Amino acid sequence: MKIRYLVLALIVLSITSIFIGVKGITPFDLFHLTEDQAHILLVSRIPRLISIVIAGVSMSVIGLLMQQLTRNKFVSPTTAGTMDCARLGILVAMLLFAEATPLQKIAVAFVFTLAGTYLFMKILDRIRFRDTIYIPLVGLMFGSVVTSISTFFAYKFNLIQNISSWLQGNFATVMKGRYELLYISIPMLVIAYLYANRFTIAGMGEDFAANLGLNYRLVVNMGLVIVAVVASVNILSVGIIPFLGLVIPNIVSIYQGDHLKKIAPHTALLGAVFVLFCDILGRILIYPYEIPIGLTVGVIGSGMFIYLLMRRKAYDV
């Protein structure tokens, strides 16, 4: 797939997204916008578009980064317990720091996300049977344990409904003043791209990296920090978007290979296009109501995941 086609698709879907909504705004209205229409564009539609693009790009790239570091195509924030640890961190922030600012909640979620992701990597180091499917199953079990802990305390303190609705992936609540934290993801993605060659070498194993003079632990820890920051920011801003960091890197690697720096732009663009498509689909299926992005991406992404599992023998994973 040529990158120019992805750019074209992103532009077309972005324009389409701006003009879809309960309040009818057409491209011709841009030449004589009313005050109400201008307010909707600036406060809701454009911030929503920006958040969709940033979330799609960032979650796809950190999924690619996790797959590179773990040397497993079926590892992602969804299947490694990363999202579950971030959920636990946000719950702890809500319980212990009720008056905390969003940035402080991100800091708490970051600590839990980083600790959980690091623990998952340590579990991988101790697993001798490194089957392609076995490792993400371990991650899913690890995430289930963390989720059980979160659910227990959420029930105990009567927060289960609050946290369930709040953490469900949904762009409907995105508006000016409530999405800007997503910009924190941008410098993290820039660092990931600049160090892409090092992450590629680290993905070949500790011994191989040491022979090339690379500080393996430093590079891996840097990657884990990037994953933790991006995951925390996205969950707190737009909620959990399942399977995004899993299926997009796999699709790109099928036709572009596994070199991180080469496929990172394709992964970022395809992730943005995919989330935009799912968001538009969710907004028109039951118009004027809306299906949350977590549901549309979850349904489509899970189907794609099953397809990848069934064809895994067709290419090297």
Any idea where the domains of the chain sit in the sequence?
3-314
CATH level 3 topology of 3-314:
ABC transporter involved in vitamin B12 uptake, BtuC (1.10.3470)
What is the model's pLDDT at position 128?
58
Closest CA to 150 of 65, 235, 221, 76: 235
Q: How far apart are CA 297 and CA 170, in angstroms?
A: 11
What is the model's pLDDT at position 165?
65
Helix (H) / strand (E) containing 48: helix 46-70
* Omega of the bond leading into 288 within 30 degrees of 0 (cis): yes
In contact, 74 and 132? CB cutoff 8 Å = yes
Q: What residues does 240 pair with on adjacent strands?
A: 168
In contact, 93 and 108? CB cutoff 8 Å = yes
Closest CA to 92 of 118, 113, 71, 72: 113
Angle at Cα 79 formed by Cα 73 and Cα 81, nearest 5°? 135
pTM comes to: 0.86
CB atoms within 10 A of CB 164: 12
In contact, 54 and 182? CB cutoff 8 Å = yes
Give the max Cα distance, the chain. Answer: 66
Instruction: List the chain pLDDT tens, one digit each, 317 residues.
Output: 578 888 899 999 998 888 887 777 777 777 777 788 788 888 888 898 999 999 999 999 998 888 888 877 878 888 888 888 888 888 888 888 777 777 787 888 888 888 888 888 888 777 755 566 677 788 888 888 888 888 888 888 887 776 766 677 788 778 777 778 888 889 999 998 888 888 888 877 777 778 878 888 888 888 888 988 888 888 888 888 888 888 898 888 888 877 778 888 999 999 999 999 999 998 888 887 888 888 899 889 888 888 877 766 554 44
The SS3 assignment for 240 reads: strand
